[in-house]
Chains A and B, each alone.
Chain A
Amino acid sequence: MSSGIFAKEPRLRPSAMATVAERRFADAEALSDTNENARANGVAYLVGFVVEILLKARLVDKFPQIARKQQHEVSETEREIWRLIWRQHDLEGMLERMNELDAALKRRGERDGKDYSAELKKVCATWTIQARYSPRTMLMTEAREWLERVRLLKELLK
């Protein structure tokens, strides 16, 4: 059995990250298809993870030099971005470093009559890595709502 998935990727590539995001979204859909509330936390966790991967892919695309560095090579001014890419799960922090993404979502939203920027902020305000450890159980109806919101958002984030 291969355990290669547990090895740290030495280099993150935005295109590969988008593919991974699609796979995790498909995982979330498979759990949603069970229609079991016991699987709802898994759906919600995975769709938030999809957003995290896609935001990180954009950060890597925007800061390729920093993303390629080893920790000991990172300067003080680069440290915050490097940590967002390699160490943290801070969706709000990532959004804060990509004003151009917010502006693009606004423009697209004006065209479509939807506030995609707010939709993304709604997901980012709610999802945290702490969902991994929560003993509470979400209902599948709520998890599906997140699933559908992210289904649209992920296309805009790629």
Chain B
Amino acid sequence: MADGTVTVPPFVTLLTAALTQQLPGAEVNTEHVRADRFRFIVVWDQFDAMDHPERQDLVWDIAGRELAPQDLRNVSMILTLGDEDLPQS
């Protein structure tokens, strides 16, 4: 493996798929934070109609259902952005 290459653990693929499937139309990106920990960034237009606590409850409910407890600990953050939160061009 080349230096600096990060192996993506299965929980990242699993949660990405679950978020994409359960939030239709959402764009899910991940960033490696350190060790086995990853940050998820979810952009979904329907977040625009939700306040931030509701958005966070929604994505963490999905994570809680889909991931084992030891994998949940490796989710650093799940950032939840609506279209209105993105920089306007």
Binding site for B on A (CB under 8 A): 92, 95-96, 102-103, 106, 115, 117-118, 121-122, 124-126, 138-139, 141-142, 145-146, 149
Q: Which residues B21-62 have CB closer than 8 A to chain A? A: 33-34, 37, 39, 51-53, 56-57, 60
User: Closest approach, in angstroms, between the C-beta of B14 and any C-beta of chain A?
Assistant: 17
B40: nearest chain-A partner, CB-CB: A125
Binding site for A on B (CB under 8 A): 33-34, 37, 39, 51-53, 56-57, 60, 63-64, 69, 72-73, 75-80
Residue in contact with B52 in the complex, picked from A92, A103, A117, A126, CB distance below 8 Å: A126
Residue in contact with A106 in the complex, picked from B73, B77, B78, B80, CB distance below 8 Å: B73
User: Closest approach, in angstroms, between the C-beta of A3 and any C-beta of chain B?
Assistant: 35
Residue in contact with B73 in the complex, picked from A92, A117, A122, A146, CB distance below 8 Å: A117
User: Closest approach, in angstroms, between the C-beta of A8 and any C-beta of chain B?
Assistant: 29
Given contact pairs A106-B73, A118-B60, A118-B72, A125 touches B53 in the complex (Cβ within 8 A): no
The answer to whether B53 touches A149 (Cβ under 8 A) is yes
What residues on B are CB-neighbors of A126 within 8 Å?
Answer: 52-53, 56, 80
Residue in contact with A125 in the complex, picked from B33, B34, B56, CB distance below 8 Å: B56
The answer to whether B53 touches A96 (Cβ under 8 A) is no
**Once the chains are docked, how many angstroms separate the CA of A102 from the CA of B39?**
15
Known: A96-B33, A96-B76, A106-B69. 4 other contacts (CB 8 A): A96-B34, A106-B73, A118-B60, A121-B76
User: Closest approach, in angstroms, between the C-beta of B31 and any C-beta of chain A?
Assistant: 11
**Once the chains are docked, how many angstroms separate the CA of A97 from the CA of B63?**
22
What residues on B are CB-neighbors of A142 within 8 Å?
Answer: 51-53
